[in-house]
Amino acid sequence: YNVENVEVVILYPAGKVSDIQERQLTTLGKNVTALEIDGTFDDCQRMVKDAFADKELNKHLSLTSANSINVARWLPQQFYYFLAHQQWVHEEPPVIAVPSGNLGNICAGLLARASGLPVKQFIAACNVNDIATHYLATGELLPKQSQPTLSNAMDVGNPSNFVRVLELFNHDRASLNKILRSDCISDKETFETIKEVKNRHGYLLDPHGAVGFAALQNYLDEHKGAKGYFLETAHPVKFEIEKITGEKVELPSSVESLLAKEKMSIKMKADTTYLKDFLLPG
């Protein structure tokens, strides 16, 4: 934001993010332009990938991505895992549950393991968009139309990073299954997890963290004596948590200031042709 010679273009799916999330995307202005796409996250990601592959665009522009299409987005996330391990007090390595949509975060964890991080088991915690869960159970990689859920940043029907996960294990599903399992958590389970954790521990989860918590709990229930942690990946204020807990979530000042700002977005069909026309200079 506001960096000289950098233009930022954000693609987001219309009607599939919360009000706070949309304000975070659309109220900056200056060198940040928000494109409100009539489609899903997968449409947005497809359009970006098509732009990267377009020879004419690449003659005129230096394009890069800030999401996990770009490994630079998730390679630094390895440090989270090593920081967590510094705090791990048990002899047995941890089970680690990672809320998973585009699979960048768990890619970072798997790469950290390849670098020496002690891990007993990774869990790709998915919502009903269960591409990873289905593959690990059947060996069939089956992209599909994503379904909207409470954990909307994980509503991905064709995860960019799945091929990278497979490459880390030389496309050997048997080896992958030894270290990675996946659990599919419904919106009902997510809803109940947020309420239960708040009542029992006084901690307010966001829906993505709740998916991770529920998947970890399911594993620990099946494997008595195992211990682990889950990754919490978003602030609950981004979501309508008040409808779940009945309690108002206090807005951080950085978010509260967005409420008075005007939304600025350009509506666009989910077609790369329109994106290309928008990006080309002149």
Distance CA 143, CA 160 (A): 10
Distance CA 130, CA 162 (A): 12
193 and 213 Cβ atoms separated by less than 8 Å:
yes
**Per-residue pLDDT tens digits for 4-61:** 999 999 999 999 998 999 999 999 999 999 999 999 999 999 999 999 999 999 999 9
What pLDDT shows up at residue 141?
92
Distance CA 223, CA 110 (A): 21
36 and 14 Cβ atoms separated by less than 8 Å:
yes
What pLDDT shows up at residue 227?
97
**Which two tokens mark 177?**
């299954």
What pLDDT shows up at residue 247?
81
* Amino acid in the structure at residue 222: E
How many residues does the structure list for the chain? 282
What pLDDT shows up at residue 223?
96
Packing angle, helices 104-114 and 78-86, rounded to 10: 60
What is the edge-to-edge ordering of all strands in the sheet holding 228-230? 180-184, 121-126, 95-99, 228-230
**Which two tokens mark 164?**
């990278």
What pLDDT shows up at residue 250?
85
- Secondary structure class of 280 (helix, strand, coil): coil
Distance CA 112, CA 116 (A): 6
Distance CA 237, CA 245 (A): 12
What pLDDT shows up at residue 246?
84
Distance CA 15, CA 90 (A): 44
* Amino acid in the structure at residue 234: A
pTM value is: 0.90
> In which residue ranges of the chain is pLDDT below 50?
none
- DSSP code string of 164-227: HHHHHTTT-HHHHHHHEEEEE--HHHHHHHHHHHHHHH-----HHHHHHHHHHHHHHHHSTT--
**Which two tokens mark 211?**
């998916």
For residue 22, the number of C-alpha atoms closer than 13 Å in the C-beta half-sphere is: 16
